[in-house]
Structure 1
Amino acid sequence: MARTGADLLVETLVDNGIDTCFANPGTTEMHLLTAMTRNKALAMHLCLFEGVATGAADGYARMSGKPAATLLHLGPGLANGVANLHNAKKADTPVFNVIGEHAIDHIRHNAPLTSDIEGIARPVSRYVETARSADGIGDLAATMLADMAGPEGGIGTLVAPNDVVWSETAASAIRKNSLPRPEFDRSVVGKAIETLRQGETSALVIGAPFISARSPYLADAISRATGCTVLAEAAVARMQRGGGAPALERIPFHVDLAVKRLQDIRSVVLAGARDPVAFFAYPGRPSRLLPEGAEVLTLSAPRADLETALEAIASELGVTAGEPHVVEKPALPAAGAITPENLGRLLANRLPDNAIVVDESITSGVHLYPMCAAAGAHDWLTNRGGSIGYSLPVAIGCAVACPDRKVITLTGDGSAFYTLQALWTMARSRLDILVIIMANRSYRILNNEMSNIGAGAPDADSVPMISLTDPEPDWVSLAKGHGVEAKRVETTDQFASAFAAFASVRGPRLIEAVL
């Protein structure tokens, strides 16, 4: 069989560290699909919706530390995946998209699926290129992957015209080295310490795509030495926590709570974090959450090594990271209805050690993050981009990257509907994921946001547009229809029993917890 541009592209991806692809291909991707499935160094996972493929690639990269590829069909296929590419972009997650395109000569005929693929890709990609020859497609891919791993990071999108990938080539795959990521600013360490020594009115705000297990210990040591407040960003792409580690308080999501929490802060050191802002503009509330006049000093950029930056401050202060300590878990709830607080107590006590938690909860999850700080060691992933339908696809990527770890997915019923096709891929790839649907039968967050933003209170006319009743979703049937075993629970006892049964076995499972 002749060696084609598609073969060269796949060889280049593999040689540059890509070992996994989440795909939803069409006619223009058949040569690419053949080359990908023929190369056994590349694991392929079929996704029934492009938003599942892009979200899965995001989750894979968060847990593996390297990008996965997606294979998508023309502009409309890419457009279907944009929401979770937006989330990946906000999380500084590298994703490498391969988008099929019409043969170059065919584009001028404006066939039904012709579109501006580069135009669709640019808002969610740092690097966008269209291959023009079979000989050159490998160099384009290698350059893009090197740039994605470098100081700027970002998402890469390579448009692959059909005639480019079916044409023969003798070009060799090449590997390109990336430039190093940015370091923290060593020149401001002294100023950072001076700032943090102002006590509780100063704050060390930490973020970055990855908060390592050692980082909370270092932040705690810095706090004890200086008296400063330590806060994490409201959403962090990946955080290692639990197992006796100091708990990291997050800046609240809700604007009023965030403003109240930060009202006494007069100076801030940003370590991997950005200046905190509200998710939306609200009448009479600020967009920037820090008090007016608060001094802000940036120690390290989001893509810099957070742990090394914190280590430098700790070293200058003459303190070291502490040891794990015994953390008392919250009391188990009494028998009765499932509430957000009861759910938090149950998970804090039952979370498997070394679990990966993918959290897409706001109103129903208010207790989950703080209470689970008392659980065993685990990773906690949150949605930095805000586009809902993130958690089920991201869980797929996490499970593929870490097949020996249990993945727990926390999501509301409204959010889960956006990418419920992910359940099929979980079953198809036999992934070890436990999905917990927090079924409150509404887009509950909008009940609060309607009044917060000055649009009045929900009433008989508006409630039907933010409720999930008439009919109520049946997540047990939906899960089973996708090949996933499921159970509906309505009491704390039922939840505890279902969780114990499902968490003790491998493979995808779903619990519909009626709140």
Structure 2
Amino acid sequence: MNGADRLCEELLANDIDVCFANPGTSEMHFVAALDRKPRMRCVLGLFEGVVTAAADGYARMADKPAATLLHLGPGLANGLANLHNAKRASTPMINVVGDHATYHLRHDAPLTSDIESLARPMSQWVHRIERAEDVGRDTAAAYEAAMSLPGVATLILPADAAWGEIPETPVARTMLPPRTPVDEDAMRQSVEAIRSGRRTALLLTGKALRADALETAARIADATGVRLIAQMSNGRIERGAGRVPIGTVPYPVDIALDALKDIDCLIMIGAQLPVAFFAYPGKPGRLVPDQCEVIQLATRASDLKEVLSRLSFELGVKRDAPVTVSQPCTDWETLLDGDLTEDAISVAVAQFMPEGAIICNESLTSARRFFGLSHRSAPHDFLSLTGGAIGIGIPLAVGAAVACPDRKVIGLQADGSGMYTVQALWTQARENLDVVTIVFANRKYAILQGEMRAVGATEFGRNAQRMLNIDDPALDWVSMAKGMGVEAARATTVREFVDLLKSAMAQRGPFLIEAVI
């Protein structure tokens, strides 16, 4: 066997059986090894940003890593924006980057680059394999890092380490170290803060936002009066009817400051201190008051469900106490026919999405009402843009659909950000993934127009308009989708959209609705 064979066997031994790939010459031995492992599902992306976002979406839903395969430094660089998002979501991923053979690097060939320096800002762990004999050990270390941090582990695979022959030896599953133990001092401070009667909030992220963990958090809230808040950037929330509703830290800085102004103590469970996405003249960056006490009860490396259970126990909360959950909505807003609007789309999707749907949201401005409406929708998972780097939505849905082939995936997609990774539609078609992509075709960078106003620039001249509008020429999403093998249709009225949405919910396979607003 060779090093590439050993890498595949290590991945499979740890139940990593999906590889999202865009390979090149240096990775051909790894491609050949993948070909010898029929258990490994290989999914091709036509751009590296598709590959990294798809691996992110897969891991958020599968609760285990996928592997990626990228070609040298430039290929890695093409995928960095969505690796940034994955890092912010604490997504476990083994990011395999091929490199020249070790002895070829001295020639400074055209594709030679400093892969480590490119990878490090967007990865929690980076390592270069030196020899074929090291592949097994180093792949096991990458898996341990991806699962324990959790996060993006980038493994650099030189070509000669891939093709080098090694003895065939048994491969065993990698044993993971215990989770970070509970900080007893932080637990004591948290219990004291909650019992003090001060206005206290729990800020949650990661697996603390799963349905069972949210029930534990809700019992704490009901018994003590603490407030529950989800971190703005989080990978996945289980929500909908029958589940505990929870709001997030708002994106607009003024709304966020107002929402958090009354908190005296913030207890962070896997979360980070809430800060504004950007600096604005005359406004603070920290979103909680300066006098607010902040307690870091758990990091993302902790078992967040166990931390909540322990906090509940220390507070004397009954484990079987009933919790308040969202009730199914029976009085949805009436959808009157007429020109299609952003709000009508949000209402329709919230009303007609099926139970078990997975929502991949990259329409921050146009779908702003959806999150508030959908807590009474059928039970579903909500996946959001975490790191703020746009271009995640369409391929995120690819990964979610590969992880959960029996569930409907719905992408709420802004048109501007959708163009960054539109190639992911081709992968949806090739893999016949059950994804409905709804493009909010407002033909402008609406979020940037809002940001211009937020910094005090309220007059849009010709140059500003040409940088913030994408209507000349107008994008034709139906033609683009069909050109990549995805069935598509356009809606300009409420009735047209509702009819298309109902039809798409009733069939399997990829479908795109261009919603002109």
TM over 0.5: yes
Identify which of 241, 244, 256 aligns with 1:243: 241
Q: What's the counterpart of residue 463 of structure 1?
A: 465
Query: Could you tell me how far 1:454 is from its partner in structure 2?
Result: 3.6
Unmatched runs of 5 consecutive residues or more in structure 2: none
Q: Which residue of 2 aligns with 1:326?
A: 327
Instruction: Identify the residue that residue 87 of structure 1 maps to in structure 2.
Output: 85
| Structure 1 counterpart SS, 2:132 | coil
1:12-65: per-residue Cα shift (whole Å, max 9, x none)? 111122110001011111111010121112110011000100111111111111
In the other structure, the counterpart of 1:381 is 383
AA at the equivalent of 1:338: L
Query: Which residue number in structure 2 is paired with residue 395 of structure 1?
Result: 397
Query: How far apart, in 2, do the equivalents of 1:90 and 1:415 lie?
Result: 18
Partner of 1:360: 362
SS at structure 1 position matched to 2:133:
coil
1:205 aligned partner, one-letter code: L
Aligned to 2:231: 233
The answer on whether the counterparts of 1:263 and 1:290 sit within 8 Å (CA) in structure 2 is yes
Report Cα offsets for 1:442-468 as digits up to 9, x if no partner. Answer: 010011101212445322221111111
User: Aligned runs of 1:152-301 on 2, under 5 Å?
Assistant: 152-172=149-169, 173-197=171-195, 201-208=199-206, 211-301=209-299
Q: 1:52 aligns with which of 40, 50, 53?
A: 50
The separation in 1 between residues aligned to 2:411 and 2:197, in whole angstroms, is 38
Instruction: Give the distance between the partners of 1:236 and 1:300, measured in 2 at CA.
Output: 15
Q: Deviations over 1:365-398 (max 9, x none)?
A: 1101110111111100111111000111111111
Matched, 1:342 2:344: yes
TM-score (normalizing by structure 2):
0.95
CA shift, 1:91, in A, is: 0.5
Are the equivalent residues in 2 in contact too, given 1:22–1:69 (CA < 8 A)?
Answer: yes
Cα contact 2:326–2:376 (8 A) shared by 1: no
Query: Identity across aligned pairs (percent)?
Result: 43
Residue 497 of structure 2 corresponds to which residue in structure 1?
A: 495
Instruction: Look up the equivalent residue of 2:383 and give its one-letter code.
Output: L
* Equivalent pair of 1:125/1:154 in contact (CA under 8 Å): yes
Cα deviation digits, residues 84-133 of structure 1 (max 9, x gap): 10000010001111111111221111111111111111111222222222
- Report the Cα offset of residue 199 of structure 1: 5.9
**3-state secondary structure, aligned to 2:43:** strand
The alpha carbon displacement at 1:178 in A equals 1.6
TM-score (norm 1): 0.95
**Could you tell me whether the CA contact under 8 Å between 1:107 and 1:114 is conserved in 2?**
yes
Count of residue pairs the alignment pairs up: 512
In structure 2, the partner of 1:486 is 488
Per the alignment, residue 424 of structure 2 pairs with 422
- For 1:50 and 1:279, how far apart are their aligned partners in 2? 26
Output the CA distance in 2 between the equivalents of 1:210 and 1:48: 34
Shift of 1:221: 2.5
Q: Aligned AA for 2:376?
A: A
CA contact (8 A) 1:198 1:226 kept: no
Q: Does 459-468 or 53-62 show the bigger shift?
A: 459-468
Q: What does residue 32 of structure 1 align with?
A: 30
Look up the equivalent residue of 1:37 and give its one-letter code: D
On the 8 A contact 1:196/1:204 being kept in 2, the answer is no
CA contact (8 A) 1:87 1:387 kept: yes
| CA deviation after TM superposition for structure 1 residue 321, in Å | 4.7
Shift of 1:243: 2.3
Partner amino acid for 1:63? M
- List per-residue Cα deviations over 1:472-502 (Å, max 9, x = no partner): 0000000000100011111221111101101
Mean CA deviation greater in 456-465 or 249-258: 456-465
Q: Give the drift of 1:339.
A: 2.2
Instruction: Output the aligned Cα RMSD.
Output: 1.7
SS at match of 1:75: helix
CA contact (8 A) 1:225 1:317 kept: no
Deviations 1:121-156 (A, max 9, x none): 111122222222212111111122122222x32211
What secondary structure sits across from 2:247 in the alignment?
coil
Q: What amino acid is the match of 1:317?
A: G
- Describe the SS at the equivalent of 1:461: helix
Q: 1:282-307 CA deviation, whole Å, 9 max, x = no partner?
A: 11111100011111122222232333
Q: Deviations over 1:300-343 (max 9, x none)?
A: 22232333222333333333352655343532322222222222
Q: Which amino acid aligns with 2:316?
A: L
124-133 vs 253-262, greater mean Cα deviation:
124-133
Q: Secondary structure at the match of 1:513?
A: strand
How many angstroms apart in 1 are the aligned matches of 2:351 and 2:487?
Answer: 23
1:228 maps to a residue whose letter is: V
Letter of the structure 2 residue corresponding to residue 185 of structure 1: D
Aligned residue among 430, 433, 436 for 1:431: 433
Whole-Å Cα distance in 2 between the matches of residues 347 and 114 of structure 1? 47
What is the deviation of 1:425?
0.3
C-alpha distance in 1 between matches for 2:208 and 2:427: 26
The change in CA–CA distance for 1:191 and 1:132 in structure 2 (over 3 A counts) is: closer
Aligned with 2:105 (options 104, 107, 111): 107
1:256-305 deviations in Å (ceiling 9; x for gaps) = 11001111222212122211000011111111000111111222222323
**Greater CA deviation, 183-192 or 103-112?**
183-192
Give 1:310's aligned amino acid: L
